[in-house]
Homo-oligomer: A and B are copies of this chain.
Amino acid sequence: MAESKKLPARDEDFANWYNEVVQRSELADYSPVRGSMVIRPWGYGIWENMQSALDKMFKETGHENAYFPLLIPLSFIEREKEHVEGFAPELAVITQAGGKELEEPYVVRPTSETIIYSMYAKWVQSYRDLPILINQWANVMRWEMRTRLFLRTTEFLWQEGHTAHATAEEAEDETQLILDVYRRFMEDWIGMPPLTGLKSESEKFAGAVRSYSCEALMQDNKALQAGTSHFLGQNFAKQFDLSFQSEEGQEEYAWNTSWGVSTRLVGGLVMSHGDDNGIVVPPRLAPVQVVVVPILTDEDTEPVRAKTKEIVAKLSEAGLRVKDDSRENLSPGAKFYEWEGKGVPFRIEIGPRDLAQGQLALARRVTPVGEKRKAFLPEGQVIAELPAYLEKFQVELLDTARARRDENTVRGVTSVDELEEALEHGAGFVFTGWSGDPAVEEEVKERTKATIRVLVSEEFRSEESPDRCLSGQGASVHEVAWARAY
């Protein structure tokens, strides 16, 4: 249902552009349930491809999937003090079931640490039962007040990994292993290169000892927290009696990690690559990588239809995801518009003249500066080279996004004034020194609306470490990246 009205301009009203583009490309729609969305087939197809790639990476690193209950007894959530403080305001509560008032209410899981570790406690007796490396694909619910399609919805889909280990060191390794999996996934599949690092105390997960995060920079230079990996220490193990007999015969508490990414990543994809014509889907995640559109004129259309079918068959055979758009009653222009809006990487057009000349028109959804949008190429070349063109398209999306991130990152900022100025000039990430004092973090946040996205991990740190805290008070203990964020 393409509408021919122009999209709002990204640089004038990015938020409105986002809302419009998500709906027009049929990624998602609003639902009758407050803050919940419907993920339409095009959006769900992208999510399925994300799931399949991530799932493979999890399995290659030794994880298995399982499924735990949607409902959690309210008393479970209340056991870990910081956890309940973090989640209590957002809980949805079931008070009646099967026609009766429940004696103890259940909450719809906002995350599953409590119920999962209560089960691990039942399964683990000895160090031989460890590690447990389980992931779950599930829906969760957080009753947020202000919602945005994909970015913040009362219900969302995600994966949540929950692991139990015999030692703190093993759990820490797991936390970082997953952070790396997330980062590679975001780079190689979404073309969305994140900054990584530790969260500050005030921004960490409720119940964690340490939280690592992947923070990606959107086109409006706001940061998106795109994936987190938490070292939970023994906080939950102690509350749920998740203990084991060690090799030396001691009774010890296990060490836990949890980690998750969600359908929010689809929003990240949109805000990383979308343009004035709609969204752009990286080839590896695109439900349709190439659409083939016959140009049917008044002449005998059979040869063009037949050639369309042939091209679609050949490309499918080559392993590409191809769509034959031979719909009647819709002009080629309307089809072009629709598939561009949906972000399909390549379009092939076949008309009677092309047929006569043994050529095809190949149009790219986006092109590097200076390259042509559309080229007429010999049929054989298109068939043979399209897999390589798709790979090139994928790599260019990442390169472009990385260049944008780096161009919009300001380093070496030494005061709050400078930070504020940089943000007012449209900076994305701003790197400064920080003493670690939460009061500074709070003050700067109030003044600039920016938060510490991460204590930047080693590879992202500036060549020259900052000496002083941006507050002017005390030495810098961490180099941190500030940004306004989703």
Contact = CB atoms under 8 A, between A and B. Distances in A.
Interface of A: 1, 29, 31-33, 36-41, 44-45, 47-48, 64-73, 76, 88-99, 106, 108, 115, 118-119, 122-123, 128-129, 134, 138-139, 141, 143-145, 154-155, 157, 329
A157 B138 CA distance: 10
Contact of A76 (B32, B65, B68, B138): B32
Chain A at the B interface: SS class: mixed
Contacts of A123: 1, 29
B72 A119 contact: no
A458 B122 CA distance: 50
A70 B40 contact: no
Contacts of A1: 123, 129
B41 A118 contact: no
A357 to B, nearest CB: 33
Given A31-B115, A33-B73, A89-B99, A39 B64 contact: no
For this chain, the copies found in one complex come to 2
Contacts of A47: 67
Contact of A41 (B64, B73, B139): B64
B98 A95 contact: no
B99 A36 contact: no
B65 A45 contact: yes
Contacts of A122: 29
Nearest to A90: B98
Contacts of A73: 32-33
A31 B119 contact: yes
Given A32-B118, A33-B72, A73-B33, A67 B38 contact: yes
A26 to B, nearest CB: 9
B33 A71 contact: yes
A56 to B, nearest CB: 12
Contact of A67 (B67, B90, B144, B157): B157
A99 B38 CA distance: 24
A38 B106 CA distance: 16
Nearest to A144: B98
A137 B53 CA distance: 18
